[in-house]
Amino acid sequence: DGGITQSPKYLFRKEGQNVTLSCEQNLNHDAMYWYRQDPGQGLRLIYYSQIVNDFQKGDIAEGYSVSREKKESFPLTVTSAQKNPTAFYLCASSSRRPGRAYEQYFGPGTRLTVT
Partner 1 sequence: DAKTTQPPSMDCAEGRAANLPCNHSTISGNEYVYWYRQIHSQGPQYIIHGLKNNETNEMASLIITEDRKSSTLILPHATLRDTAVYYCIVRVDWGSSGDKLTFGTGTRLAVRP
Residues 16-35 binding partner 1 (CB under 8 A) are 31, 33, 35
Instruction: Mark the segment that binds partner 1 (CB under 8 A) among 13-21, 65-73, 74-82, 104-112.
Output: 104-112
Q: Is the dihedral of CA 18, 81, 64, 60 positive or negative?
A: positive
Instruction: Mark the segment that binds partner 1 (CB under 8 A) among 14-22, 64-72, 79-87, 90-98.
Output: 90-98
- Interface residue with partner 1, options 48, 64, 87, 112 (CB under 8 A): 48
Give min distance, CB of 40 to partner 1, in A. Answer: 8
CB contact at 8 A, 24 and 5: yes
* Number of residues assigned to the chain: 115
Q: What is the rounded CA–CA span in Å between residue 86 and residue 90?
A: 13
